[in-house]
Amino acid sequence: MDLLYFDTTFHILICTRCLYALVPGTIAAHLNTLHKVEVVKDKIKRYVEFWKDQPIQPAKDMQKLDLPIDTLPISHLALYHDGIRCCLCTKKPYICSNKSSQCMQKHLRVAHMWTGGHKGGRPPKTSVARNIGFTKVTTSPVSYQTFHQSNFIRFF
C-alpha cells in the first residue's frame, strides 16, 4: 500500500499510515517528521514534486464543508466510535469526541441557548443530576471522522 492516497471525491491527500488528510504544502514536513524511518529523502522529494500541482483542497475549505448526517465513512480516514451528536442540529450535524463533553455543552449553550436543566448558580455535584437535560438533546455513541488534525479539526 502506498503512503499517500488521493480521494477524488473530496480532492484531499490522505496519509494511509496516520489516517487523516494532509494540509496542502505540508507533505514534506509530514513525511520528514512522522515517516522519516520508512521514507527516504529522495522519495519525499518525488512525493512533493508530484503533488505540488495537483488539485488538493485547502484545509480551511474542507473545514467549512457541510456533510449530511447520512454520509458514508470515507475510506482511508480514521473512523472513531465514541462521539456525541447534538440532536438539535438537524441540517449540519455537530459532533464532538465523547472525551470532550464540555465542548458539546458549550455548543449547546452558544448555538441553542441550552441551560442544562438546572437553575442558576453552581450545578449539582452528582453527575446524574447535571446531565439530566444533556441526554435529551444529545445522542451517543456515534461514529465520526475528521479530515484533518490540529488546527483544522472538525468532526462529521
Pinpoint the alpha helices (H) of the chain: 27-34, 41-51, 59-64, 101-112, 127-130, 134-137
89 confidence band (pLDDT: 50, 70, 90): confident
Pairwise pLDDT comparison (32 vs 116), residue with the higher score: 32
pTM beyond 0.85: the answer is no
Interval 103-125 mean pLDDT: 75
Domain spans in the chain, listed from the N-terminal domain onward: 4-57, 65-152
Secondary element (H or E) of residue 80 = strand 80-86
> Using one digit for the tens of pLDDT, what is the confidence trace for 128-142?
334 457 888 888 899
> Using one digit for the tens of pLDDT, what is the confidence trace for 58-86?
888 888 887 877 788 999 999 999 999 99
